[in-house]
Amino acid sequence: MKKRNYEIDMCSGTIMDKLITFSLPLMLSGVLQLMFNAVDIVIVGRFTGSEALAAVGSTSALINVFTNLFMGVSLGSNVLAARFYASGRTKEMSETVHTSILFALISGIVMAVIGLIFSRAALELMGTPADVIDHSTLYMRIYFLGMPFFMLYNYGASILRAVGDTRRPLIFLIISGLLNAGLNMFLVIVFHLGVAGVAIATVISQMVSCVLVLRCLCRSEGSYQLRLSDLTLKWQYLRQIFQVGIPAGIQSTVINFSNVLLQSSVNSFGSTAMAGYTAANNILSFLYVTVNSITQACMSFTSQNYGVGNYRRMDKILADCVVLSVGASTVLGCVAYFFGPEILTVYTSDPEVVKCGTEVLAFTTTTYFLCGLMDLFPGPMRGMGYSAVPMLLSIIGTVGTRIVWIFGFFPHNRSLSFLFLSYPASWIFSIILQIICLYFVRRRVYPASERKLR
């Protein structure tokens, strides 16, 4: 199959260089997105105050709980599209694209309505302090108005990633991110709109990225071209998308629910600790997008090779991804550990906030390679269409460990550093469970002649 300039041949040739070529734009996309989000936090923290900083930061885990179920379904779109594309099934590929985009629009509208109605009640359940909750509610309600644009961009980008194109989504993100940063400074510094200005800037930039990715799909040639007149929901494809995507979404949602419990525990220390956690969590997010880009590469490469029955290559893909994930997360984790206090001062000049942020980073940065491995091993299983069991094991390993830690151990040793020891503990337990699961999935999927590890 002849590949166009933006596409990558995942089924033949060398592997490591193609994984890097695929992962790097995806990694840069995530890093840039976080940098633009950090601009939100820096601007609102510097020019509006620590209460506004806490208000914006305290909503992130809750927003993720609301959105990650639908976002997980986009992984199903990616896996199915990659499989059809690699095997040359043009009709099935086209119908998968149109089903995915229409579902993205519908789910975005649903999320907008849910966010508008339930934002304040959810923040109250989290125990958000009275001096923060009004700002947090306003931010969330405006943010959720942009959900249709957010969903359409991410589902469109997942289709492009399925064919190996991670460069054009990066270009679109750069354009929308620069717009977001400019609007932030304009609306917050000039018009003094505070958290509302940050949220409005986010919605506008999401709309721009949505238009760019849809335009790209409409102007593409071949099986993944989008024709708005052909938008339809076809159950036979939606069912296969849900089979992979819903377990992935549930896993992400439940894990973020455990982060909401952590956020509630942090909230009990007051707004200063909340602001420190917000800044530290933003630093950890940079590490996560790095390892997650490698996981997405592993999933897409595995799905295409699974579609053509190239089992031996799938093992080599996983081995190379392990090397990439451990290497990248170890280097970046050490940088975050040794330079954490200096990096935190970018977000705030309050020494107490920096101190709280440093406590959060103490046990979560140098051990971050464990998070990378925990995130990686479900990737090839999803690429082969197995998503439910990895979901259950991730929930047991990650959420179960953190719940036991928060309600069993934390009350007897109330400090931020001890609270966030739950991270590496949950990562180790989850890795053990995922490796066992991968062994049995591999035995079930691979032909007998291909089961011997190479």
Query: What pLDDT is stored for residue 67 in this prediction?
Result: 79
Assign 3-state DSSP to the chain and report helix, strand, coil percentages, each to 5.
Answer: 85, 0, 15
Query: What span, in angstroms and rounded, lies between the C-alpha atoms of 441 and 377?
Result: 11
Instruction: State pLDDT tens for residues 341-391.
Output: 999 988 778 889 899 889 889 889 999 999 999 999 999 998 998 888 888
If you average pLDDT over residues 286-308, what whole number do you get? 91
The residues, ordered by sequence, that sit 6+ positions from 34 with a Cβ below 8 Å of its Cβ are 282, 285, 286, 289
Query: What pLDDT is stored for residue 3 in this prediction?
Result: 45
When pLDDT is cut at 50, 70 and 90, the band that residue 206 belongs to is very high
If you average pLDDT over residues 208-229, what whole number do you get? 93
Q: What is the DSSP string of 342-404?
A: HHHHHH---HHHHHHHHHHHTTTSTTHHHHHHHHHTHHHHHHTT--HHHHHHHIIIIIIHHHH
pTM for this entry? 0.79
Encoding tokens for residue 387? 């998503």
Instruction: State pLDDT tens for residues 120-135.
Output: 998 888 788 888 899 8
Residue 451, pLDDT > 60, answer: no
When pLDDT is cut at 50, 70 and 90, the band that residue 450 belongs to is low
pLDDT, averaged across the chain = 88
Residue 199, pLDDT > 80, answer: yes
Q: By percentage, how much of the chain surpasses pLDDT 70?
A: 97
Query: What span, in angstroms and rounded, lies between the C-alpha atoms of 375 and 177?
Result: 26
Query: What pLDDT is stored for residue 2 in this prediction?
Result: 44
Residue 19, pLDDT > 70, answer: yes
Encoding tokens for residue 121? 């009640």
If you average pLDDT over residues 248-266, what whole number do you get? 79
Give, rounded to a whole angstrom, the gap between the first and last alpha carbons of the chain. 27
Instruction: State pLDDT tens for residues 64-114.
Output: 777 777 778 888 898 899 989 988 899 999 999 999 999 999 999 999 999
Residue 139, pLDDT > 70, answer: yes
Query: What span, in angstroms and rounded, lies between the C-alpha atoms of 183 and 198?
Result: 8
When pLDDT is cut at 50, 70 and 90, the band that residue 339 belongs to is very high
Query: What pLDDT is stored for residue 267 in this prediction?
Result: 84
If you average pLDDT over residues 55-61, what whole number do you get? 76
Check if the beta carbon of residue 324 is closer than 8 Å to that of residue 23. Answer: yes
Query: What pLDDT is stored for residue 187 in this prediction?
Result: 93
Instruction: State pLDDT tens for residues 6-17.
Output: 778 899 999 999
If you average pLDDT over residues 168-195, what whole number do you get? 90
If you average pLDDT over residues 256-285, what whole number do you get? 83
If you average pLDDT over residues 256-269, what whole number do you get? 80
| Helix (H/G/I), strand (E/B), else coil: 1 | coil
If you average pLDDT over residues 148-161, what whole number do you get? 94
If you average pLDDT over residues 219-233, what whole number do you get? 91
Query: What span, in angstroms and rounded, lies between the C-alpha atoms of 137 and 294?
Result: 34
